[in-house]
A and B are shown apart, each in its own frame.
Chain A
């Protein structure tokens, strides 16, 4: 493959307008995207108006997008549609807004009113923006949500992050132990399983604050703990480098391929 000719021939930037197909919104979108990306990248030099411009758009569109999608997928689907779930969707679909309201009032007895409780609670988040005196009402939905979240979090954490992890560690030892009898024993397995146990115990001990980390045992295990933690962080660091680079590659690919058309595949 002659890569150099590929470079020379295939310079086909995205087209906003062509004589055959006329104006292309897709092409325009790619151009805008590319320019905004470059604005963002200009931050590498220093903070500048172009970057600030792109950033202010970002803040606006990300929340604006959230508004649209939550309105439909959160409120329309989970409040309105649940309320009318006993009614015929085909009939509702063909009604205009006022007819629909009239229809709903007529069929008030077959509506589900439970979602309204949540809707009212949720709308209380508006209170700080409407009245300073009753801004405290906003604490009600948050209290519900946090109480709810805390209630489910306690058993879930106990089960998944503590008991299951203890079980997993113990289970590894039962497997190694059984392997002694059934002839699949491997010294490395035993050793690595032991390293795992040591690492968990040492890490837990490192984060134990009620005793001084002194002496050959206390101090030594704590030191071992921080070493294990550092190995863990090292792995995370290596992985993070990988992730950030991937994101940049993805962006460069967009610029080279979709925008400039330098590569074609």
Chain B
């Protein structure tokens, strides 16, 4: 009996040890895993893929450094695909902590693809107000963002000259660590009828599946898995970083499931053992 009971109360330091091992080992012994691409990610890829050359895509960076490992790979792959397809890109941030990402990532990739700031892409920077910004962008982006992240008036930027509001954008993408896609669906998609999709942290992902069925969201990238699938679709191979992260992720999930099962086994065995002894006592 003691053994069963002990299964339920393994010291958490042992659990942490296993966890740490599962996390760190794949960094030194990396292994490639098969990538199975889910429908929501396929849809996400196709939405961008089916846009005509020169179409305009806006990406909203609504996450902070804490969600960086999950969402940065998405952002990179997404901008990669956009630049490969010769689409125009606008980035901005509704979370103050997302602003540096909304500037750095496009700039890095623009260098690789020889894209020119102001013609092929624009970074508008951060704006407080969330719903207010989403609504005002539907009416007039030029008044929601009077200046870009560099301090130029956006009416002086060639790319922004013909872009007034959502009706001039071909696609809106939200990279979110919170409930911002809810706000986009409520205030932009329904009100202004703009095609929309999102890449989100796994914490929020389960909440957004209703929007996929109603097509309020064209596609969804849920968490690191979504990022790895999408990256695979765009570049035909995963980057080393994402491969390794997925490897660690796999092992950790296995360990966690194992421990949960152990705990429950202990729970049930203890319970049935207690029942048995009670019956004996009665008899």
Contacts and interface: CB of A to CB of B under 8 A. Distances in A.
| A and B found bound together | yes
A246 B69 contact: yes
Given A66-B96, A89-B153, A242-B253, A167 B16 contact: no
A48 interface: no
Interface string A238-265: 0111111111111111001000001101
A124 to B, nearest CB: 17
- Chain B interface mostly helix, strand, loop or mixed? helix
A236 B207 contact: yes
A161 B211 CA distance: 9
Contacts of B215: 168
Given A81-B147, A159-B186, A168 B241 contact: no
A207 interface: no
Interface in B129-168: 129, 131-132, 135, 143, 145-147, 153, 156
A160 interface: yes
A12 interface: no
Contact of B214 (A73, A168, A249, A251): A168
B127 to A, nearest CB: 6
Contacts of B106: none
Contacts of A248: 23
A120 interface: no
Contact of A160 (B70, B135, B202, B216): B216
A156 B146 contact: no
A245 B28 contact: no
Nearest to B256: A241
A77 B146 contact: yes
A246 B145 contact: no
Contacts of A149: 131
Nearest to B209: A235
Interface stretch (B43-51, B77-85, B220-228, B262-270): B220-228
Contacts of B213: 168, 172
B66 A263 contact: no
Interface of A: 3, 6-7, 44, 65-66, 69-70, 73-74, 77-78, 81-82, 85, 89, 148-149, 152-153, 156-157, 159-161, 164-165, 167-168, 171-172, 232, 235-236, 239-253, 256, 262-263, 265
5 contacts: A77-B127, A85-B153, A165-B214, A240-B202, A247-B69
Given A44-B16, A247-B69, A250-B68, 13 more contacts: A74-B128, A77-B147, A81-B153, A89-B153, A152-B135, A156-B186, A165-B210, A171-B214, A240-B202, A247-B67, A247-B70, A249-B69, A253-B244
